[in-house]
Structure 1
């Protein structure tokens, strides 16, 4: 029984898995934002700034999954209702600090345009597929060259060993470095942007501030 995914042939499955990780990651970030609002007693903010967005994202995901894998007609209906209701909610509450109705509506429409940033965030997780494929194919290319060198006598064997050890160590190093860099990038840019708010104290220079100034 096959229980693994071959990235060399199953590109689509690897891409779906990468985006699925992104969906879980971003939804967890939205959950943290909802928790922070509820903790601070901002229950309506949790609904407006998180609840409506989760609804529209879930509806969109269900809608497109239903297009790829046809399901019961009620799934499409539920997805459509979720998207419409949440879109109206975002338009009406996205700019609730505006002083006029027109400002709220146009501000809400601009807030709804933020759905494009979520699309970009989800697509950004496809870099995980690229990391997996690049490391696998580089390793396969090194192994192919090693097999070409082995039949060439003792010189070929020595060269094959050096190439295999050096090449695979380099491949592991590049893979580990890429995993670190891209994981940090996805965390700080896509994940933290869903809930993190900067704070702290303004930096003060480590110097005295004299009360009087002597002019010469």
Structure 2
């Protein structure tokens, strides 16, 4: 029963699509491989974390991790951590990354003349900036997709070298969150680059996107 309801829902949703433009083939749905993207996000998060810890140690030494202390008293070794010192940059980075990442998607969408909708998809655990109900050009979407990764990286990498531990640490957290969170953008960019020039995309809602390839 559930499968048939989902099929009916998909058919109803597809019926809301606009007429296929002249010179284009009938649309097909663009899908994300959810499990693969979750694995990819984890890998990117781990790799970027290791690389950034090594870089911070190289540039600032142990001082950048002053919130962490090892106390040796005779045969007893105690590990102490100032949670406040680590929680503040962590939470600041999480909030800033989430907001700025989607804002940059939206800014580039707006630059190309699209109407942008911002929102939250609780079931997907995601925030979004999208251009629903509009044909979107492949070449423009390539720039929309990569804008947060390129823009945030360009700003935060120099901040890693600022001789203020909380600034460098916050920048590192932002880079980890943004890099791991960009896995969907990277996948979409990879798929878009493999599509013919002139391809159009159309988002019905946050879960359903359709691809229109040129027929000639």
TM-score (norm 1): 0.24
Q: If each structure's strand is expressed as a fraction of its own residues, which one has the higher value?
A: 2
**Which is higher, the Rg of structure 1 or of structure 2?**
1
Higher relative contact order (CA 8 A, sep 6+): 2
